[in-house]
A = this chain, B = another copy of it.
Amino acid sequence: MPRATTRSDVFNAVAEPQRRVILELLASEERPVGELVRLLGVAQPSVSKHLRVLRDVGLVDVRRHGRNMMYRTNASGLQPLHVWAGAFERYWRHQLRRIKQRAESINR
């Protein structure tokens, strides 16, 4: 079986670099698809497909404005990811402390 499909969850959706850039671009302001196409320098269908994935997992919201589709990042969708990674914080702090101590003992 291949990997759980991209549409299935946030972790998969953000695994693709272009999609991370899109989320960054849409975090602070709404933008139409055409603007993303210009900013990213990739083909329009490609952008639309990435937006589709992001929409399916709830990472962006859409709104029609005339002929344009205005997209915007739904930042709260990224919270699970932040929380999950954050659970490891105590461990990397440990590690950093150990590394620091080792460095100090070498200097002595």
Most B-side CB within 10 Å, residue of A15, A23, A94: A15
A92: which of B14, B76, B86, B89 is its contact (CB, 8 Å)? B76
Distance between Cα atoms of A75 and B93 in the complex (Å): 9
A86: which of B14, B24, B82 is its contact (CB, 8 Å)? B82
Q: State whether A20 and B11 are in contact (beta carbons under 8 Å apart), knowing that A91-B73, A95-B76 are contacts in the complex.
A: yes
Instruction: Kindly state the interface size class of chain A when it binds its partner.
Output: 20 to 34
Q: Does A96 contact B (CB under 8 A)?
A: yes
Q: State whether A78 and B73 are in contact (beta carbons under 8 Å apart), knowing that A4-B16, A15-B15 are contacts in the complex.
A: no
Q: B residues within 8 A CB of A44?
A: none
Q: Does A27 contact B (CB under 8 A)?
A: yes
Q: B residues within 8 A CB of A96?
A: 76
